[in-house]
Amino acid sequence: MANSLLSLRWLFRASLAIECAVALSLACTTAAQQPAIPASTAIVLHAARLLQVDSGRLLEPGEILVEGERIRAAGASVDHPRDAKIIDLGDVTLLPGLIDAHVHLFLHPGAEDLQTVEESVPWRTILAEQAAKADLLAGFTAERDMGTEGAGSADSAVRDAINQGLILGPRLRVSGNAIDILGGHEDAIRFNPAQRVLSNADYANSIPQLIEVMRAQHKEGSDFAKIYETGPDRIIDGELHTPYQYTEAQLAAAVEEAHRLGTGVAVHAMGEPGTLYAAQAGVASIDHATQLSDETMRLMREKQIPAVPTFTIFEYFAEHAASPAVAAREKALLDYKISEFKHQVAAGIPFAVGSDVGPFPHGTQARELELMVRYGMKPLAVLQADLIEGAKLLGWEGQIGQLKPGYLADIIAVPGNPLKDISVVERVSFVMKGGVVVRQ
């Protein structure tokens, strides 16, 4: 009887939690967006300006004809079908939906190590759904989730629920858990070893283990593999020191297996020699990329491997450190990163835009574009890195990232002119994804 009562009590609590989560989700959705316009309705968007991302040409005014989920026409003026809904957005600039190539939907501000231990995967999945919604409403219509930090393949469920229209969120490419060595960057090395606290990533200590883990993740729905290649990071006498985790041969084997599966490998790689090994292996992207040698940058140009700087997370950690000593350490790392970034820009390597959002609040990551401009890139170059290079990196080249006929109607509106003030991307006022208005 006691067991039955306990089961009923837990069932009641679970039911109540689900009802509250659904009610909260519906309330947030209602408050954050206007009723969705069916994708089957022809829509004409009219605005003061429209940016052609590839050429940098700013059309005044700008119009887009959307039919179904795709753009039929875009220019200074377009046909207005008799039954089309006309949406005049006023003094704004029309842009393609933003792309964040490095997000963590399953993280939120707070102690990362503790939240991944203390919070259940079901609870973290509910929070991930809210994070996806916040990112979409901020104008990010496509993202690459770079590891669930111990939540396994739960990101596949979030992606599939978005694709089926059950919840709001961006188009997603997901990795499942990241991959790490025993005692590596994401291992629980600061906890009592006797408690056997698991890593926030999947262990792989050899080529056979790498391949086995990648196959298991692919079976569970991953779109690509995320591998930790370096860590921990220290600035010593003004130089970055970050030990590598996998050899070039090991990364090359992972890249070969990813190609067999029809996908790629993204690496967390802060500095040398790990960044060199990643470039030699032909990974899809080098994320963080704080320290790149001349040879590494040569290979990145040759193989068109983009760096994903993730300035926003470095800034956030420096400004929200737990102590003055930690703040000084984080500030030194950020300063070093800024200095190296200027060399990378001058070297002409490709870039994509990723913020590492999760440890800082979802929906605020457009600051990444502003920081990349502040530290050395032109606004148009950053927008091209975000939208054109980002579309390639996510495997949606020719589908998203530009306002052209045949492309998916992922469209946002921002005040002012982003070529003069890139910070306007932090003030998105209109969002359309796949021809459906989700924010107006």
| Percent share of the chain, pLDDT over 70 | 91
**Which pLDDT band, with edges at 50, 70 and 90, does 413 fall under?**
very high
Q: Is 43 exposed, middle or buried (0-12, 13-18, 19+ CB in 10 A)?
A: buried
CATH architecture of the domain covering 98-393:
Alpha-Beta Barrel (3.20)
| Percent share of the chain, pLDDT over 90 | 85
* pLDDT confidence of residue 196: 81
* pLDDT confidence of residue 391: 98
Q: What would the mean pLDDT of 358-386 be, rounded to a whole number?
A: 98
Q: Please give the structure tokens belonging to residue 284.
A: 């899809």
Q: Which range among 177-191, 211-225, 381-395 shows the weakest confidence by mean pLDDT?
A: 177-191
Report helix, strand or coil for 192: coil
Q: Are 318 and 330 in contact (CB under 8 A)?
A: yes
* pLDDT confidence of residue 361: 98
Residue 16 has pLDDT above 80, yes or no: no
Q: How far apart are CA 49 and CA 331, in angstroms?
A: 39
* pLDDT confidence of residue 85: 96
* pLDDT confidence of residue 186: 86
Q: Are 123 and 245 in contact (CB under 8 A)?
A: no
The CATH number of the structural domain formed by 43-96+405-439 is 2.30.40.10
Residue 6 has pLDDT above 60, yes or no: no
Strands in 146-206 per DSSP E: 171-174, 179-180, 202-203
Q: Where are the domains of the chain?
A: 43-96+405-439, 98-393
Q: What would the mean pLDDT of 123-151 be, rounded to a whole number?
A: 98
Residue 58 has pLDDT above 80, yes or no: yes
* Centroid of chain to Cα 106: 12
| Sign of the alpha-carbon dihedral angle for 84, 87, 88, 91 | negative
* pLDDT confidence of residue 70: 98
Beta bridge partners of 73: 65
Q: What would the mean pLDDT of 228-257 be, rounded to a whole number?
A: 96
Q: Please give the structure tokens belonging to residue 95.
A: 């842009």
* pLDDT confidence of residue 40: 56
Residue 98 has pLDDT above 60, yes or no: yes
Residue 355 has pLDDT above 70, yes or no: yes
Q: How far apart are CA 351 and CA 353, in angstroms?
A: 7
Q: What would the mean pLDDT of 100-120 be, rounded to a whole number?
A: 92
Instruction: Indicate the angle between helix axes 248-260 and 207-219, nearest 10 degrees.
Output: 30
Closest CA to 290 of 367, 226, 344, 330: 344
Beta bridge partners of 57: 52
Q: How far apart are CA 34 and CA 439, in angstroms?
A: 6
The overall average pLDDT reported for the chain is: 91
Three-class SS of 326-365: HHHHHHHHHHHHHHHHHHHHHHCCCECCCCCECCCCCCCC
